[in-house]
Amino acid sequence: MDPRDRSGLNFLRFSVDFVLLKTHQLYRKPHSNERYCYREGFLWFRDVSEQKWIDGNAPLAADANGDEDLGSFDSFLWAGNSYRLSGDFGHVEITSSPPVVEMRAG
């Protein structure tokens, strides 16, 4: 199943490798093989009433662990309860309640 096909669902979840700044409470010194402090987590859009994928036909890639990888975010725009995200995965327009960032423990 293509993870970009979310028709019929009232949520949208992106699995994200967040880069944390030194001022963030979860910051830790990067591992020797890393340049930044990374923390896995999710970007949730709940109560989605509308989502529209545009140019979302780029082939899915795999990350170093072999998991599907939609690439990175290039932009994140919002006005009221409308959000537009674009990146390697194409563009998606979402109407929902405000997004929530959830960090994995670790």
pTM of the model: 0.78
The per-residue pLDDT string of the chain (106 residues; one tens digit each, 9 = 90 and over) reads: 344 555 567 889 888 989 999 999 999 999 899 999 999 999 999 999 999 988 766 666 676 677 777 788 999 999 999 999 998 888 999 999 999 999 987 6
Q: Name the burial class of residue 101, with classes exposed (0-12), middle (13-18) and buried (19+) by CB atoms within 10 angstroms of its CB.
A: exposed
Give the span between the Cα atoms of 82 and 39, in whole angstroms: 26
